[in-house]
Amino acid sequence: MSAESQQSSGESATTRRRVLSTLAAVGIGSVAFQRAAAVQAETSSAATVESIKNAEWISGITLSDEQRETAVNAINGVFSKRDQMRAVKVRYDTLPAIRFDPEIGVPGIQQSSLDHPDYLSSAGAPAAIAENADDVSFLTIRQLGKLLRDGKLTAVELAKQTIDRLRVANESLNCVVNFTEELALKQAAVADRELSEGKDRGPLHGIPWGAKDLIAVKGYPTTWGAPQFQNQVLPRTATVAKKLEQAGTVLVAKMSLGALAMGDKWFGGQTRNPWNPQQGSSGSSAGSASAVAAGLLPFALGSETLGSIVSPCKRCGVTGLRPTFGRVSRKDCMALSWTMDKIGPIARSVDDCGIVFNAIHGADDGDPTSVSRWFNWPMKLDLSQVKIGRIEGRRTSTADEATLAFLEELGADIVPIALPSEFPEWAISIMLDVEAATVFHDITAANNTEGLNQWPDIFRKSHFLPAIDYLHASRLRTRLIEHMADVFQQVDLYVGGDDLGTCNLTGHPTIVLPTVMSDSKSHAQPICSTLTSQLYNEATLLAVANLLESRAGISEIRPSPE
């Protein structure tokens, strides 16, 4: 089938659905008649009395002349509005004239630049222990920074080593979509010159990183993991990448993601878990988590709409921060859900995540949902003043139980709480499906959906969901936000909770970090815990996680797959 035929087929199906909805709304005829009229309409540019009569014959009913005229006018009204809208083309990055606000159910949550919890205070940066410059694979950002500033390693040397390691490991892990070597060497040379001249941009100066390949970088492909966009080169660089460049970082590669941010399968194959290369890395921040876990990158950026940072970090045993919705700009990053997408760091330590988040958070004119809220790092805290929730009525993993035990030993106040259970969060998440189907309507209409994992079925079925149900889901979402606000009247954060659906809908931040080792004899690896906090309270989340990381004592264990 040609592309033109595919597009015609998709548009005909859309017309059929709209006619069905219109006829049902005005109450004309039986369901069988409405379907028959819709089939007639999809092959015509206008409805006629004759086409209505044909639909009557097919469905076995008879309408009056007045009902026929009403049906003709209703269907042609659909065609007119459809044609007017289709005449105006929009880009993939065009935002809708609505935006999600996670503060809607939490009056007064806004924080000034000076507001922060009383139990938090500024902490000096952890000492960076000098390491062997010949083996930089698993060093932290601060350790690498010390080597750079002591002259034991240059940013150019570090960039080249990083790219070389990625090239070798990529043969088995399949974690890189495209290298950005020319840009990396240019940025690294600038970092070396500036550091030699005494211009220090901070802890990220000269540090290599990888960008999930839905983050646009001018001059390089941004493929979204999908064959339909494999050769797409966008004309701008995303705000998050610009912020990291301003911090002195060196971008070495665009990392794999499942097609259109689903899973770990993309047009180049499946990305692998370095602890067990027979297993996928999960997704959709598949390459970011895999490469960081393997010691190939100090950090990478991922994104999450419904688990795409949390899931691969758990699978690959690394630390990941899913920030509060709106804390990091998504300008020039692929849109999947305007009301749920979030960008966050993936690293091997909590401190590294804090360093990166400190560089990328804040409001951006290019993303109207983005906000500026108080944050500082590093921070220390008085754990005895922190109330931490233990979720009742939900499964608690071994890692989460160990985390609660660690925190209690360290002096935290553990409080039993219940998360809202009366709201069907996975039903409410149809909002994601509808928004994604809207973003990618053009390829669905053209039936150009090969290689997109489960998205084609989701896109097609989402066309049948009435606007009323989308807006009803949005209202239920508001109630869910209000109930979660009640939870955080009781605690500062909680552990576990099986809350992936709930907190991606409400916009709350979560950190994932390895806390125990699995007892698998074939592929032992770190098992992660999750901690979730009040909106915009990433500082507390990171400070608690930093204590946990020290207590768990497994951050030095490295992958050794058979």
How far apart (Å, rounded) are the C-alpha atoms in residues 388 and 497? 12
Average pLDDT over residues 312-317: 98
Q: Please indicate whether residue 341 or residue 97 has the higher confidence score (pLDDT).
A: 341
- pLDDT given at position 2: 45
Inter-axis angle of helices 467-487 and 430-439, nearest 10: 130
The continuous run of DSSP H or E covering 546 comes out as helix 538-552
CA 373, 376, 381: angle at the middle one, nearest 5?
Answer: 115
- Model confidence at 521, pLDDT cuts 50, 70, 90, reads confident
Segment 151-172, tens digit of pLDDT = 999 999 999 999 999 999 999 9
What is residue 490's predicted lDDT score, i.e. its pLDDT? 97
Give CA–CA dist 310/447, Å, rounded.
Answer: 32
Element housing 522 (H / E)? none
**Whole-angstrom Cα distance, residue 214 to residue 143?**
29
CB-based contacts of 114: which residues, under 8 Å, 6+ apart?
374
Q: Which of 23-27, 60-64, 415-419, 423-427 has the highest mean pLDDT?
A: 415-419
Mean pLDDT value of segment 84-95: 82
Identify the residue whose tokens are 């080593």: 161
Q: Where are the beta strands (DSSP E) in 264-396?
A: 265-266, 269-270, 272-273, 276-280, 299-304, 319-322, 342-347, 379-381, 387-391
The predicted structure's pLDDT at residue 519? 86
Give CA–CA dist 250/556, Å, rounded. 24
Compute the C-alpha angle 314/317/322, nearest 5°. Answer: 50
Q: Give the helix ranges, DSSP H, for 488-524.
A: 500-506
Does residue 222 contact residue 213 with C-beta atoms inside 8 Å? yes
Active site residue 337: no
C-beta of residue 318 within 8 angstroms of C-beta of residue 275: no
In eight-state DSSP terms, residue 504 is H
Question: With contact defined as beta carbons under 8 Å apart, do 370 and 328 qualify?
Answer: yes
- What interhelical angle do 286-293 and 155-173 show, nearest 10? 110
Closest by CA to 159, choosing from 209, 122, 121, is: 209
Q: CATH 3.90.1300.10 spans which residues of the chain?
A: 120-424+471-552
Q: Three-state SS for 163?
A: helix
Instruction: State percent of the chain over pLDDT 70.
Output: 89
Nearest to 260 by CA among 441, 522, 50, 510: 441
H or E stretch including 178? strand 176-179
pLDDT beyond 60 at 504: yes
Query: What pLDDT sits at residue 16?
Result: 58
Strand residues in 392-525 grouped as ranges (E)? 413-417, 493-495, 510-517
* The one-letter amino acid at 517: M
Residue 392: Cβ within 10 Å count: 10
The pLDDT assigned to 95 comes to 83
pLDDT at 44 over 60: no
Structure tokens at 210: 């990888």
pLDDT at 217 over 70: yes
* Annotated active-site residue in 51, 288, 308, 529: 308
Q: How far is CA 387 from CA 330, 400, 488, 541, in A?
A: 32, 16, 10, 12
Q: Which range, of 42-51, 148-157, 260-269, averages the lowest pLDDT? A: 42-51
Q: Which residue among 146, 212, 314, 342 is the active-site one?
A: 212
Strands 276-280 and 269-270: unpaired
Are 437 and 458 within 8 A, CB to CB? yes
pLDDT score of 7:
46
Q: State the alpha helices, DSSP H only, in 197-344.
A: 239-246, 286-293, 310-316
Compute the distance between CA of residue 227 and CA of residue 5 in angstroms, rounded to an integer. 20
Q: Residue range 345-369: average pLDDT?
A: 98
Q: What is the pLDDT of residue 11?
A: 55
Q: Is 152 a catalytic residue?
A: no
Which has the minimum average pLDDT: 42-46, 271-275, 278-282, 417-421?
42-46
Catalytic residue among 256, 281, 284, 337: 284
| 193 confidence band (pLDDT: 50, 70, 90) | very high
Residue 308 annotated to the active site:
yes
Tell me the fold of 120-424+471-552: Amidase signature (AS) enzymes (3.90.1300)
Mean per-residue pLDDT for 189-195? 98
Contact 126, 378 (CB under 8 A): yes
Name the pLDDT band for 457 (thresholds 50, 70, 90): confident
Question: % helix / strand / coil in the chain, to the nearest 5?
Answer: 40, 15, 45
Residue 340 pLDDT greater than 60, yes or no = yes
User: Is beta strand 208-212 parallel, antiparallel or unpaired with respect to 299-304?
Assistant: parallel
343 or 21, higher pLDDT: 343
Report residue 251 as tokens: 């971008």
Residue 432's CB: how many other CB atoms inside 10 A? 23
Mean pLDDT (the chain) is 90
506 has a pLDDT exceeding 50: yes
Tokens at 47, concatenated: 């409805």
What does the pLDDT read at residue 83? 74
Q: What is the pLDDT of residue 80?
A: 79
Tell me the pLDDT band of 5, cut-offs 50, 70 and 90: very low
pTM strictly above 0.85: yes
Residue 21: is its pLDDT beyond 60?
yes
The confidence score (pLDDT) of residue 18 equals: 63
Which two structure tokens, joined as six digits, stand for 232?
């797409």
